[in-house]
Amino acid sequence: MTSRVRAVVFDLWNTIARWPHAEWAAVRPRVAERLGLSQEEFDERWYGELAHLRETGPIADVLARFDLSPEAAEDVLELRGAVTRQGLVPVPGAAETIAGLRDRGLKTGLITVCSEDVPRLWAETPFHGLFDAEVFSSSVGLRKPDPRIYRLALEQLDVPAGEAMFVGDGANDELGGAERVGMAAVMLEVPPEELPGEVQPEWDGLRIRALPELLDLV
């Protein structure tokens, strides 16, 4: 990669932060119970019909699908938020890599597919202040790989797609989506044990095994 890269945009989950799978697995039965669902019903709906809704709008729209008391709704928000908060911690090398990019004069951005709890908690996390542009799917009503979500970040960064790089684990066809709008795309290889129940997609483009390797690509 050449010096024409002026901005690097990161994915969040399983790229610069790890979703706390074990903690969420322990809490999911309690969330299901508060929603009046069995564990099987919860998983089917949460990862099925409710996925797009919770990742592109207010969590209240999801909870409105259930006959919940205000107390039960607050319990769900607190349970989910506590798990999310545990995950919003930079993986080793993430903060240092972002700082290194900024020290070189590059702009940094974030595009993440997430529920509303992420932007709600963001100011309390170590990530706050690290990015020149932050695009949360639940706040803008768009998910990767919709080209509009990349363009939103590029507009905030004031950098053309051809001078920007996107880095992610490859979920949601995010790497292909970045390339289709003209960005360079780099896959971060994630050890399988850190992606329980998931498999990274095939990718023939640029790859790195650790975030600090980005500093050799720009």
Q: State residue 41's pLDDT score.
A: 96
How confident is the model over 26-66, as pLDDT tens digits? 999 999 999 999 999 999 999 999 999 999 999 999 999 99
Q: Which two tokens stand for residue 106?
A: 């590059």
Written as one letter, the residue type at 50 is L
Segment (H or E) for 166: strand 164-168
Secondary structure (3-state) at 118: helix
What is the residue-averaged pLDDT of the chain? 95
Question: Cα–Cα–Cα angle for 84, 92, 149, nearest 5°?
Answer: 55
Q: How far apart are CA 148 and CA 136, in angstroms?
A: 12
Please report, to the nearest 10 degrees, the dihedral formed by the alpha carbons of residues 73, 82, 135, 3 taken in order: -170
Q: Which domains does the chain have, with CATH numbers?
A: 7-17+89-216 (3.40.50.1000), 21-87 (no CATH)
CB-CB contact of 211 with 198 (8 Å): no
The size of the chain, in residues, is: 218
Secondary structure (3-state) at 164: strand
How confident is the model over 187-204, as pLDDT tens digits? 999 988 888 878 899 999
Does residue 120 carry a pLDDT above 70? yes
Q: Which two tokens stand for residue 143?
A: 């998910």
Across 103-131, average pLDDT: 97
pTM: 0.95
Q: How far apart are CA 218 and CA 73, in angstroms?
A: 46
